[in-house]
Amino acid sequence: MSTFAPGLEFVFELKVAVADPIRVGRTDSEDLSVTPIVGGTIEGPRLTGRVLPVGADWWVTRGATTQLDARYLIEADDGAAIDVVNRGYWHAGEDVERRLHAGEPVGEDELYYRTAFVFQTGAAAHRWLTEAQFVGYARPEPGHVCIRVFRLT
């Protein structure tokens, strides 16, 4: 039996505009917060459009790792609405955390900020989004989360 190595096809980048997080709280060992999604853009070879100001990212921090659970809507340039569920994980070393809090740029390769997508739409032109697995490599920017989205091949 041969070993199959999956490939990645870059399809677009999301630049999701976010408001300040709202801390909900939980227990001594974990903390729940919600970050409202207030807009943004989509640019790439397979999809362009905008992020609608609908949805939020619910995130739970346990120790040094944060588990992400975002749900929002995007609109393709042709007007099609696409539902997005995006779940993943974030963790970074102390030096990267310090740099982020100081407002310094941090690249995708300097932290673990990875997500997996599920898309839903009734638009035939975008059905390809509902028929494959997609992963994201994310990075924070002031007021935004930027996610390069890839289709697993």
Mean pLDDT of 118-137: 98
pLDDT at 1 over 80: no
- Contact between 66 and 60 (Cβ < 8 Å): yes
Q: What is the pLDDT of residue 3?
A: 86
Mean pLDDT of 60-87: 96
Residues 70-90: b if buried by 16+ CB within 10 A, e if exposed: bbbbbebeeebbbbbebebeb
For residues 86 and 58, give the distance between their C-alpha atoms in angstroms, rounded to a whole number. Answer: 10
For residues 93 and 116, give the distance between their C-alpha atoms in angstroms, rounded to a whole number. Answer: 22
CA angle 50, 54, 59 (to 5 degrees): 105
Q: What is the pLDDT of residue 50?
A: 98
pLDDT at 26 over 80: no
Q: How confident is the model at residue 29 (pLDDT cuts 50, 70, 90)?
A: confident
Mean pLDDT of 60-79: 95
**Residue percentage of the chain with pLDDT more than 90:** 76
Q: What is the pLDDT of residue 28?
A: 79
Mean pLDDT of 103-131: 94
pLDDT at 30 over 90: no
Long-range contacts of residues 98-102, Cβ cutoff 8 Å, at least 24 apart: 100/140
Number of residues that make up the chain: 153
CA angle 14, 139, 71 (to 5 degrees): 50
Report the CATH number of the 8-152 domain.
2.40.160.20
Q: What is the pLDDT of residue 21?
A: 94
